[in-house]
Amino acid sequence: IYGTALFGFDKLDISIKVNRPKFNAWAEQELFIYKLNKIYYQCKDTLADFKILSKENNDEPGEIRIKAQFRYGIKRYRDEIRKELSKIIDEYVKQSGLDVTVDYVKSIPPVYNDEQECKEAERILRKLTGDKAVHILNEVPPHGADDFACFQNELSGLFFFLGSANLKKGIKAWNHTPSFDIDEDCLAFGVKTMSSFLYEILKRK
């Protein structure tokens, strides 16, 4: 993949605390989520998405807890979503007088392949394996993230996908599904190809 290879994501916990009588936690929760959905609609046409993972409320202590996640293909989108989220919460606090806290519990940046390095990698891989073995993906896979992106913050690197399906053997299920399997013949091919690729790269240093 040229450019974004896997989405990054932020997971966050949002807590709302109320100190007033006759508090309808469910209604307040849905009102707040309605305001958050503004982010969802802004994300629809970009390499980003936003969703509510879970929600719970309790009238007695006056508490609302919401777990949310947003994914993004470019770090700029992360910064824009965080800024918009902060704006929504600030406006909500002013209007409602409630206490809201946001805790970012996990954040992984997107995996991004430098396009110039991809061109060089594609040229080398086609030379090593032939054109039929090299396929360029034109869209970011809809699921998954990888902390390989954290290494890319320190050093330049490329993220490859190794095909492991074999339709003739009936091996075609997605990972994280009950029937997932791989054609183990791909392992030898992958090791040979990657080691040869690294050798070619090192020769150019």
Q: In this predicted model, what pLDDT tens digit does every residue of 47-61 receive, in sequence order?
A: 788 899 999 988 877
Same domain, 69 and 123: no
Same domain, 136 and 91: no
Same domain, 13 and 97: yes
Instruction: With cut-offs at 50, 70 and 90, classify the pLDDT of residue 174.
Output: confident
183 within some domain: yes
118 within some domain: yes
Average pLDDT along the chain: 89
Same domain, 131 and 186: yes
Domain boundary among 108, 143, 174: 108
Instruction: For residue 51, give Cα distances in angstroms to 46, 115, 143, 205.
Output: 14, 30, 14, 44
Same domain, 117 and 197: yes
Q: In this predicted model, what pLDDT tens digit does every residue of 77-120 receive, in sequence order?
A: 899 999 999 999 999 999 888 899 999 999 999 999 999 999 99
Question: Residue 144: which domain range?
Answer: 111-203
Domain boundary among 77, 92, 108: 108
Angle between helical axes of 185-203 and 115-129 (0-180°, round to 10): 120
Same domain, 195 and 173: yes
Same domain, 87 and 168: no
170 within some domain: yes
Looking at residue 45, its pLDDT comes to 67
Is 20's pLDDT higher than 80? no
Identify the CATH number of the domain in which residue 71 sits: 3.30.70.360
Residue 176 CB partners (closer than 8 Å, separation 6+): 143
Domain boundary among 108, 132, 160: 108
2 within some domain: no
Dist. CA 153–CA 193, nearest whole Å:
25
Looking at residue 61, its pLDDT comes to 77
Instruction: With cut-offs at 50, 70 and 90, classify the pLDDT of residue 75.
Output: confident
Is 40's pLDDT higher than 90? no
State which amino acid sits at residue 170: G
Q: What is the pTM of this model?
A: 0.80
Is 24's pLDDT higher than 90? no
Cα within 13 Å of Cα(185), Cβ side: 5
Q: In this predicted model, what pLDDT tens digit does every residue of 175-203 receive, in sequence order?
A: 888 999 999 999 999 999 999 999 988 88
Is 165's pLDDT higher than 70? yes
The percentage of the chain sitting over the pLDDT mark of 70, rounded to a whole number, equals: 98
